[in-house]
Amino acid sequence: MPTLERLRADHADALLAFERENRAYFARSIPDRGDAYFTPAGFAARHAALLAEQDAGICHFHVVLDVEGELIGRVNLIDVADASAELGYRIGEQAAGKGVATAAVAQVCRLAGTAYGLTSLVAVTTLDNLASRAVLERNAFTAVEDITIDGRPGVRYGRSRLGH
């Protein structure tokens, strides 16, 4: 089972390596972050900004580690307000299809309801991202609205029972 760790400054090097290694893989299903993100300076600035947002309680960022302690993914709760947040996650290509995303999302849902005091989460994905939709549905998210994501048909999901 994967382990979640709250994002820390010392995750930066492993996180940048993970993002670089999986850049093309992620770009197949979500918009690319742009070249500046992947430079050491650009990544360091973004990492510092994320840690500041986390310290302010605006977001809760997590890395996903495998049994050997290698970083294999991210699971984030962003835009925390009114006891709600948006869930986002990305699992590296080498760990995809092995239940890692499902397990990591389950863990962050429990944290959301217990450690972070949230009562609801939303998540969005494109209709053609069947793997992401399956992860959400396995974790008791229900489709609540058809949307458009970067010009592509998508769906917004919601979940209100957290911490279980």
Residue-range domain boundaries for the chain: 3-159
Look up tokens 């053609």; give the residue: 128
pTM: 0.92
How far apart are the C-alpha atoms of 144 and 53, rounded to whole Å? 28
How far apart are the C-alpha atoms of 104 and 106, rounded to whole Å? 5
How far apart are the C-alpha atoms of 71 and 92, rounded to whole Å? 9
Average pLDDT of the chain? 93
Q: Give me the helices (H) in the chain, please.
A: 12-21, 23-27, 40-55, 100-114, 130-138
pLDDT tens-digit series, residues 84-111: 999 999 999 999 999 999 999 999 999 9
How large is the average pLDDT for residues 135-155?
95
Per-residue pLDDT band for 164 (boundaries 50, 70, 90) equals: low
Give the CA distances from residue 17 to residues 21, 41, 92, 124, 159, in Å, rounded to whole numbers and listed in that order: 6, 14, 11, 26, 32
Is residue 131 over pLDDT 70?
yes
How large is the average pLDDT for residues 131-138?
96
Taking CA 138 as the corner, what is the angle to CA 104 and CA 70, rounded to the nearest 5 degrees? 20
The pLDDT > 70 percentage for the chain reads 98
Q: Domain spanning 3-159 has what CATH number?
A: 3.40.630.30
pLDDT tens-digit series, residues 60-73: 999 999 999 999 99
Total length of the chain:
164
